[in-house]
Amino acid sequence: MDAPIDPAHGGRDMDLTRAAEKLGALEDEIHHLYEHVPFGSHALDAQGVYLDINSLELSWLGYSRQEIVGKRKLTDFLTPASRLMLLRHLPAPGLNNVIADLELELLRRDGTSMPIALNSVGFADAAGKLLKRRAVVFDLREKRQNKIHQLVAAQAFEGLSGTYITDSQQVIQQVNHAFIELTGYSAQEAVGQTPRLLSSGQHDTAFYQAMWSALNKYGRWQGEICNRRKDGSAITLWLSVSAVLDAAGAVTNYIGSFFDITATKAAEAELLQLAYFDPLTRLPNRRLLLDRLTQAQAVAKRSGLCGAVLFVDLDHFKAINDTRGHEAGDRVLVETARRLRAAVRAGDSVARLGGDEFVVLLEGLDEKALESAAQAEIVAKKILESLAQSYQLDDIEFHCSASIGIELFADATSAVDLIQHADLAMYQSKAGGRNRVRFFDSSMQTQVLGRAALDHDLRHALELQQFQLFFQPQVNLQGQIVAAEALLRWHHPKRGLVAPGEFIALAEETELIVPIGLWVLETACAQLKDWEGQARTRHMRLAVNVSACQYRQDGFAVSVQKVLSASGIDPAKLVLEVTESMMLDVPDAIAKMNALKALGVSFSMDDFGTGYSSLVSLIQLPLSELKIDQSFVGQLGADASVGVIVRATIAMGHALGLEVVAEGVETQAQRELLVKKGCQRFQGYLFSRPVPIEAFEALLPQAQ
């Protein structure tokens, strides 16, 4: 006798059968969907072997389904470089299992390659173990990465599209689950309504008239539409509507299918921001600037009004990055961007090209070039004044001037050339002393070419032994030479004697000043060693200038110590001249100075009063000497306020136990004024120009 049927057991079997049938039907539906989409589609198992592939992608590869499914991997059909790229982009277990718009090269059966964009999502079990990957693939041969592809790719990750069916009067008859999920309306709430249920009110009558015109004429319409969910939140959809016709050609139904592209639109906006705007300052970047400049040129040509490009570069910006770190540098750049926006009109553009380089685009100035130049100069000077204000960085105030180059435009000069010309003018501004404005002229191109040639020659000057030290004496009240400053000169085989002002700035920009500065230090110490062996010079102290680039090197103190050891000199005879701008990071400056002072080396503050130091930091630094800048000395007697500054500086130096040396003394009148103000040491053309060692030693008295 047969065993009795367990009703409960039989019911479970029936439920499982129905579930399997539904799952099979759903898989068939998904297969059917991907079989007819206008892009490639495939599924891979956890090992990368094909589980499924649609006909379009098969046609791209040139293989049959039987040759691929269950037998081959996607990586079998990729170029070696693309294979490595795919492996790098495959997410690690447990991470976001999505690959978006990965551009690869597909190898086809006929040996040709085909560019594709791969979009893939992984499916894992509850334990996070990868089960399979579903992908959509776009053909990039004709650059068909348009909006509909992006929308379909996004939908492929998120599930089936939201779908509704209406009758011929647009009354909703049926909706699917995705419709309910995307809109928030239940089937009961949607059925019997029209699609106007989702209307956001953002589209005008013309929008809907165009939609229905296309539906009536072509039987279909698709496009972007802004709707509203049940909770009132906005949702952006890519909607496709098709008319269903009966045998007589009459409309029986409309089918609407939509993807939620809200996130895609937000991503597009973010990509647009990244593509056209600087992420740090939020200013337009070079790409957007060129676009705006090209448009501005076209407008200027039609209107007859000139425009101007201002190339703005911060002076000594590298100092803040080197001494306070890039975070402090970023804060300065953000504040600079704010000041630039505030200094120009609402219709003008401010862009950041990178680093500390900014460009200001002025439009609609004047019909006359001269008037336009005057207007542009007014804006440039306003910018200089704004940027000259101090930047507060925690416990310090950072002063950062700017150099500006200007090029006017009203003709068809390319946008790239305009920026280059303004850039060249900016470099001329720096060469002229910084913190100033220069206009471009054609002669600058020649100067730039000359600068490039100078850079080339400078890189070989050290190995070719073209450098020489000159010496300028420092005298006391009695006119006796008590010390000297070593000054670098370059003997160029064609240019002759090149003045420091022509190549020192270039050496600093290229960091060639580091090996050159080391040579200066070694040569100066060798000279000191020679002087120690002579009665008339063994008392001499020698000052050597240290560049900011040298001083900021991590191993600066160690390199000086090695030179001292190698030369065998008395370190007390060596004076290192530093500038105020090098002392921005006071703790680091003190540490380096103390390390060298412990060896006996002395420090002199050069060009005092022209840089960044506060009195507090000056007191902290282990200095032995102050040098009054020649710009102050040159104005003595002509400007009463300068006399007050010089007297105060001398008094302050003496109060701190420092020697005070006045630089740039050229007349007897200047010397007498300095003596009256308490100065006891002098240096300048009144006593001697910088001269070679033989001429310098000829100035010294003979040994008694």
Instruction: Convert the pLDDT of each residue in 384-399 to its tens digit.
Output: 999 988 888 777 777 8
Residue 141 confidence class, pLDDT cut points 50, 70, 90: confident
Q: Does domain 282-441 have CATH number 3.30.70.270?
A: yes
364 membership: H or E segment, kind and range: none
The listed range with the strongest mean pLDDT (213-217, 275-279, 572-576) is 572-576
Which class is domain 460-699? alpha beta
Fold observed for domain 24-158:
Beta-Lactamase (3.30.450)
CATH 3.30.70.270 segments of the chain: 282-441
CATH 3.20.20.450 segments of the chain: 460-699
Query: Could you report the per-residue pLDDT of 457-506, keeping only the tens digit for each?
Result: 998 998 899 999 999 999 999 999 999 999 999 999 988 988 888 888 88
Beta-bridge partner residues of 52: 43
Distance between CA atoms of residues 186 and 564, nearest Å: 87
Q: Tell me, what's the pLDDT at 25? A: 60
Query: Could you report the per-residue pLDDT of 164-204, keeping only the tens digit for each?
Result: 889 999 999 988 888 888 899 998 999 999 999 998 888 98
Distance between CA atoms of residues 60 and 58, nearest Å: 5
CATH 3.30.450.20 segments of the chain: 24-158, 187-267
How many other C-beta atoms are found inside a 10 Å radius of the C-beta of residue 595? Answer: 15
Percentage of the residues of the chain whose pLDDT score is greater than 70:
87
More confident call, 276 vs 406: 406
Which class is domain 187-267? alpha beta
Mean per-residue pLDDT, 132-151: 72
Q: Tell me, what's the pLDDT at 608? A: 73
What is the CA angle 31-79-145, rounded to 5? 55
Residue 156 confidence class, pLDDT cut points 50, 70, 90: very low
Distance between CA atoms of residues 429 and 502, nearest Å: 14
Distance between CA atoms of residues 57 and 109, nearest Å: 12
Closest to 229 (Cα-Cα) out of 169, 267, 181, 299: 181
> 256-288: buried (b, 16+ CB within 10 Å) or exposed (e) per residue?
bbbbbbbebbeeeeeeeeeebbbeebebbbbeb
More confident call, 495 vs 27: 495
Query: Could you report the per-residue pLDDT of 55-90, keeping only the tens digit for each?
Result: 999 999 999 999 999 999 999 999 999 999 998 888
24 membership: H or E segment, kind and range: helix 7-35
Least confident of 269-273, 318-322, 326-330, 671-675: 269-273
- Residues near 275 by beta carbon (within 8 Å), at least 6 away in sequence: 287
For the chain, what is the mean pLDDT? 85
Residue 154 confidence class, pLDDT cut points 50, 70, 90: very low
* pLDDT of 519 over the 50 cut: yes
* pLDDT of 671 over the 80 cut: yes
More confident call, 109 vs 95: 109
The token pair that represents 138 in the structure block:
């776009």
- Residues near 356 by beta carbon (within 8 Å), at least 6 away in sequence: 313, 314, 317, 333, 336
